Amino acid sequence: MLCGKGFSSNAVYHAINAAYPIAKVVVEEKVNTKEFLKRRVKKLGLITVAGQVLFQAIAVRMLNAASRKRTAQLVKELQLNGSDIPPAAVSNVNSINDEEVITLLQAIQPDLVIVNGTRIISKKVLGSVQCRFINTHAGITPKYRGVHGTYWALANKDVQNSGVTVHLVDAGIDTGSVLYQAAVMPTAKDNFVTYPLLQLAAGIPLLKQAVADALGGTISTRKGTDESKLWSHPTIWQYVYNRIFKKVK
């Protein structure tokens, strides 16, 4: 398993490992914030990135505080195990694209690699072993590639495309062939910070099925949406507008 640090990676590990023992978990460090923002400014522009930073600093912080009870309720009801991955199973790396990751993969020669919450995986890593890489994406692809697929679907009044996708990993950003998809319908109690929990819970059974398919040699792909678009974090002004005029929290 190749993953980033966080609750979703822990939950995926425990859910899959219970049915299909995972030989090794490679956990990468978070991208350096300064470098991340520099690249984001170059791609999206200073004003947009400033709005995204304000959204994270103000709106997300407030939503997290206001949603503690709902978050705890969902974790319990959806049976999401976010406890730490056993340290003995973990190898920590700076980047999932480091040479040491290739060395480790080639030593293990896995039947399958599960991906969760990493940066874009390089072609060199993807081609280093003869097995499939499978990812769970919080959005319906390819229409909602990138991040926060359910939030953007709701903001676009596109509730039929609020959901989660399990797909094969390629060198693009959420462009791999679709294996399974499921709809996610948030309630009035949910918001930006709880949508991902609903998506995670809906995606885990699909991921389990995809793992079974891959190991059993019965994996098959299906057509995704006709439209393809890459989405980023909302800015503070986008969030305020969508909350006031579209009632999307």
- pLDDT tens-digit map of 135-174: 999 999 999 999 999 999 999 999 999 999 999 999 999 9
3's tokens: 């993953």
Beta bridge partners, 202, equal none
Query: How far, CA to CA in Å, does 217 sit from each of 71, 131, 155, 176, 222?
Result: 37, 11, 39, 18, 16
Q: How far apart are CA 44 and CA 51, in angstroms?
A: 11
Give yes or no for a contact between 163 and 202, defined as CB atoms under 8 angstroms apart.
yes
Give yes or no for a contact between 163 and 181, defined as CB atoms under 8 angstroms apart.
yes
The pLDDT, as a whole number, for residue 35 is 87
Select from 228, 221, 204, 194 the least CA-distant residue to 137: 204
pTM of the predicted protein model: 0.94
| Omega before 142 within 30 of 0, i.e. cis | yes
Instruction: State the average pLDDT over residues 219-233.
Output: 96
The pLDDT, as a whole number, for residue 62 is 97
Q: How far apart are CA 38 and CA 46, in angstroms?
A: 9
At residue 10 the predicted structure's pLDDT band, cuts being 50, 70 and 90, is very high
Write out pLDDT tens, residues 83-137: 999 999 999 999 999 999 999 999 999 999 999 999 999 999 999 999 999 999 9
Q: How far apart are CA 24 and CA 148, in angstroms?
A: 28
